[in-house]
Amino acid sequence: MKALYLDCFSGISGDMTVGALLDAGADFALLRDGLMSLGVPGFHVEAEKVAKRGVAATQFRVVIDPDTPKPHRHLHHIEDIITGAALPEAVRAGALKTFRLLGDAEAAVHGIPVQKVHFHEVGAIDSIVDIIGANLALHLLGIEAVFASPVHVGGGTIHCDHGIMPVPAPATAMLLRGCPMVGDDLNAELTTPTGAALAVSWTTDFGPMPAMTATAVGHGAGGRDLADRANVLRVIVGEMAALPTGPAGRVTVIEALIDDMSGELLAPALDALLAAGAHDAFLTPVMAKKGRPAHLLTVLCDGSLLSGMTRTLFEHTTTLGLRFREERRTVLERAWRSVPTAYGAVRVKLGFLDGVPTVFHPEYEDCRARAAEQGVPVRRVAEAAHAAAVEGRWCDA
């Protein structure tokens, strides 16, 4: 499996990421052609070799015509640019994911719906090009998994559209929740919101470099020169043994103890959480203080959805407070197939270990519907569907 390690010892930004991936072997001509398909006028891109405190690196630049309009864009404007470009589907999906992470972070910082977020710095042409260019360069290198070091954010304060802000900037800090960060007394922003969004949207796990055989090393140059370090992002491309399971990484766990709602009122809350994108949501009966029966409501979701999940919980339950934590997880690759039974077709969820299906779970709603149609117990339909799946009898073979 071809993997990439982001060594963020001097932070990460959008232009540094594109430069590092070009330095590691991504084709600049193909990258430029893809970016020219965006339908955004008034810019061109350049890449040149520079030296940062003795380290040879590639500096990627987006050069903008000074007469080009600079509108404030909403998320849907940027999504239209991405979906209308001549890009591979994986690049389009990666860029959309990155911008949606940015949108969620900005919305949480400002306390407004994501649809009302004005993208200021990240809505500018250079940031749009950086994010799409980084996702395209990742695709050109054929990367299948990304890992990252703890992210160096810098220190001090910066000036932005909203005035003086601390480092890391509020959106950067929001994006890096649950990820290891490093700061110091350097009065500089080493990690930008764009760089943080790319790292979070790509990375399977943050920490030491995993065991891999390096095939290429690239350095992407930042715009400023630092007195005590090379201002570069280092990337290491290598081959590693394929993971035996599917996506591994971090998941946010949210918990609330509720002792004044019945189970029938809590059930719609679970439905709302799942509809909002939770991986799972469930209730555990517990004994609360003063011997009161209660429910522990647990939600598993991506860290980027924490703000939305929090709002959903407060809207749909009576809880006055929540607690959350980040945990690591690994899951099996999954797929849906349909199997024929004597009672009709039933969908089955499959779990794959090393590419081989080892878990077969008939979809309950399908089993219930077939059972009602045929006047048989649900258990009988589920058993028939499970047996058909184990034998590999598929409707859609």
State pLDDT tens for residues 331-368.
888 888 999 999 999 999 999 888 889 999 999 999 99
Q: Give the Cβ contact number of residue 342 at 10 Å.
A: 11
Per-residue pLDDT averaged across 75-88, rounded?
88
- CATH architecture label of 248-330: 2-Layer Sandwich (3.30)
Percent of the chain with pLDDT over 70: 95
3-state secondary structure of 368: helix
Is 50 exceeded by the pLDDT of residue 116?
yes
Which two three-digit tokens encode residue 134?
């980084």
Is 60 exceeded by the pLDDT of residue 172?
yes
The confidence score (pLDDT) of residue 191 equals: 95
The confidence score (pLDDT) of residue 185 equals: 80
75 Cβ contact partners less than 8 Å away, ≥ 6 residues apart: 99, 100, 103, 114, 115, 117, 119
Contact yes or no for 73/123 (Cβ under 8 A): yes
What H or E segment, with its residue span, contains residue 150?
Answer: none
| Measured CA distances, 182 to 11, 69, 167 (Å) | 9, 37, 11
The confidence score (pLDDT) of residue 374 equals: 94
Is 60 exceeded by the pLDDT of residue 375?
yes
Q: Give the Cβ contact number of residue 49 at 10 Å.
A: 12
Where exactly does CATH 3.30.70.1380 map onto the chain? 248-330
Band (370; pLDDT cuts 50, 70, 90): very high
Band (246; pLDDT cuts 50, 70, 90): very low
- CATH architecture label of 333-390: Roll (3.10)
Per-residue pLDDT averaged across 302-326, rounded?
89
Q: pLDDT tens across 299-313, in order?
A: 999 887 888 899 999
Percent of the chain with pLDDT over 90: 57
Q: Please work out, in degrees rounded to the nearest 5, the angle formed at the alpha carbon of residue 169 by the alpha carbons of 163 and 175.
A: 140
Which comes out higher in pLDDT, residue 396 or 61?
A: 61
Is 50 exceeded by the pLDDT of residue 114?
yes
Where exactly does CATH 3.10.20.300 map onto the chain? 333-390
The confidence score (pLDDT) of residue 296 equals: 96
The confidence score (pLDDT) of residue 248 equals: 56
